[in-house]
Every structure is written in C-alpha cells, then in structure tokens.
Structure 1
Amino acid sequence: MQSRDLIDHISGRSRDSARPVVVGVSGYCGSGKSTLARELVAALPGAVRMRGDDFLDPARSHVRSTDWDGVDRSRLVASVIEPFRERRPSEFRRYDWSARALGDPESLPVADVLVVDLIGLFHPEVVPLLDVAVWCDVDLDTAATRGMDRDRKLGRTHESLWRDVWIPNEIDFSNGFDPRRSATVLYESLGER
C-alpha cells in the first residue's frame, strides 16, 4: 500500500468508528517508521503522534533481548493507548534522553487518531489494541543500512550497537513474534528514510 491509499484507509476507519482510532507503525530499525508517522499526522485532520522513542529505556534498549525488552510497552499501553481509545483523561511521561530519566507528566492529547511509531510494537501486549497496524515493509539489510547511514549523518557512532544488539534483536523479535504477519497493512517504504 502507498501513502495516499493508507491515508484514505485510516480516514475511513476514523469516519466509521465510534471511538478514536489507534494506528501503530512498526518495522525494522531504519525502515521509515518515524517518517511515515509524521506524514500520516500531517495528512490526517485530528491526528496526533506519539513518538516511540519516548517509550524506550536506553539501558535496556542497548542490550540483547529476544523481545525488544527496552520497549516499555506496558507504560505505553496503560498511560496512552488504553485511555486514548476510551477517551479517558490520562497523563503519560516521555523518556527525557538528556536527563536519562522519565520527564514530567503530560496530559494525554485528545484527538480522533493516534499514530504510534515504535520498534517492537507488534507484540501480543499491544497488537489487540491497534485499529490499524502498519508494517514498513523493508527488508532488514536495507533498513539497517538506512539506519546506520542516518546515524552517521547525525554524528552518532552506533555501528557496534547495530551489529551486536539491534540487528540481532530484530531477528529474534521477528522469529518470536512475526510482526510483519501481525500487520493489517504492509506499507511499501521507498527511498531514503
């Protein structure tokens, strides 16, 4: 599916739903999740984005795990996804990367569509709560190359993390949870991301 079709699909779901719609965007590191999430929010009236990086634990996301343990899915579900779906007021806390701790509580935005982009999102703890699950359909080698190129351009030297942690984590997560198969939409991510 391409961008315009995806936007139309989400718009239709939102129009036909009696409650807010939650869109999950996942894929391998470097597959274009954040770029797609920003595009969706810009194109969908009444949409807000929840950055997946705000729900990562940097210590745990920098070590090997078979289920992307560094993704704080329970905090995302309890403080954002469930209350958003139920139109219930809630507060959430973003991870403050500069302070290396959770930031101050923020009110959950009220909107018609919530777009969440995150690695390891298509996990049994989260998938049942997603109205639209979009997989950025890029193979792992291509995604990793894009991600490493992006990091180099930003002055980050993460090659050993990519090689020793993130790529193996992606392989283990895919083997354990088959996130591509959990998707309701396969998004053909083209070009630089």
Structure 2
Amino acid sequence: MRGLARRLRGLPPSCGPVRLVAVDGHAGSGKSTLAGLLAGALGGAPVLHLDDLASHGAFFDWTERLGARVLDPLERGRTARFRRYDWQRRAFVRPLSVPPAPVVLVEGVGAGRRALRPALAAVAWLEVPAALAWARGRRRDGPELAGFWDGWTAAESAHFAADPTRPHADVLVRQRAPGAAGAPGARGYRVLPGPGARRRAWWAPRT
C-alpha cells in the first residue's frame, strides 16, 4: 500500500487541487477495507463511500448528485457537504463532508464509471471474481437481505456490461489469499499495472 500511496501522491491533481482516486470492484469484494488501508497509507486521506449517495430507488443513478454535491465543491477547493443515505430509513439524513485533501478516495461499485473518469487521477480495480464477491456479500448480510442481493446483482451486471471499469483501471489489486470471510490486511494485497496504465503511463514497476 505504501508504494501505491507514493505514486498517487505524485500524480497531478485531477479535480481542482484534489487527486481523486476511484476504488472500484464488485459488491462484496472488500473495497471498503482496501480503501481504508490505502487511506491510512496516505496519512488519513478522506474516503467517500458511494453507498452514501446511492439509494434503493437508484443503485447507480448518483452521478448528478456526486457532481453537484462533491465534485463541484472540490473543483473549487472547497469542502463538499451532503447528506448520507440511510439504507434502513430509506432517506438522506446524516450530514457528511469531504475536505479538498491532496488525495480523496471514492469507493464503491461504479466509482470508475465513464462519466467520472475525466475527474479521476487514477482508477484501482479490486480483482475479485463477481461470484466470489457476491457470495461474500450475501453471507455478510444474511438471508433477510437475499431479495435485495437478487436485485443488486442484476443491476450491477447490467451496469458493468454497459460501462465497465476494469478495462480502464490503472492498477489491479489482487488478494494474495482471498478467503470466504473477508479481506486480508495490507500485506495480503498484490498491486499490478492495469489495462488503463498503458494509456496513462504513470505506472512504475515496483510496488
């Protein structure tokens, strides 16, 4: 993680003064854990979770909300302020903020989508197969959310079929020993150049 963090700090800003970095992958793949470890390696970089902007009625219809509430303020060097979606209360309630730090991580399914890539300094893809990731997510959430997962997997499959992230990823992050229960620690990841690294040409050979 430290090697990747050094590379990210060295990138030119992509959204005002901010280096906006997407952490994308299938639901249940361990993106939140990875983003947390990377944020720590970056000295406490802010992490924006896309689950806070999505909703039951629009799993992937958050682009305009992200642009207006987060990207526009960051582009001006200002703190982004918005309300977090509560998945139990089905309403946007809790106020959150994201400061214009040198690096800000955007974590969630679709974080590297086409509409956001012009504002991104880099895209990281967590390399966990969809079937494995979804099985983890279902185990984590239990049988009471089985119906939700049925709808989610269909929506996610449709999203990535129309707007895939992996071909544009600058780095692929693989778990050295992925288990059924969750993600490994920082030493359990291997960082490799992704398909998008050839176009951006910022990858250095060592991690």
The answer to whether TM tops 0.5 is yes
The range that moved more, 17-26 or 132-141, is 17-26
State which of 149, 158, 161 in structure 1 corresponds to 2:148: 161
State which of 23, 26, 30 in structure 1 corresponds to 2:24: 26
- Please give the TM-score of this superposition, normalised by the length of structure 2: 0.75
Residue 100 of structure 2 is aligned to residue 114 of structure 1: no
Percent identity for Structure 1 against Structure 2: 34
- Please give the TM-score of this superposition, normalised by the length of structure 1: 0.80
Residue 170 of structure 2 is aligned to residue 184 of structure 1: yes
State which of 45, 53, 56 in structure 2 corresponds to 1:55: 53
What amino acid maps onto 1:118 in structure 2? G
CA offsets 1:103-145 (integer angstroms, 9 cap, x no match): 2555542422111101122222212111111111111111111
- Following the alignment from structure 2 to structure 1, what is the Cα–Cα distance between the partners of residues 133 and 93? 30
Task: Give the structure, 1 or 2, with the largest relative contact order (CA under 8 Å, sep 6 or more).
Answer: 1
Aligned residues: 177
Q: In the alignment, which residue of structure 1 is the partner of 2:157?
A: 171
Structure 1 gaps, min length 5: 62-67
Residue 88 of structure 2 is aligned to residue 101 of structure 1: no
Higher share in helix:
1
Instruction: Assess, with a 3 A threshold, how the Cα gap between structure 1 residues 141 and 74 changes in structure 2: closer, same or farther.
Output: same
Higher share in strand:
2
- Following the alignment from structure 1 to structure 2, what is the Cα–Cα distance between the partners of residues 4 and 89? 26
CA offsets 1:16-48 (integer angstroms, 9 cap, x no match): 548221111111101111111111111112511
State which of 133, 140, 155 in structure 2 corresponds to 1:143: 133
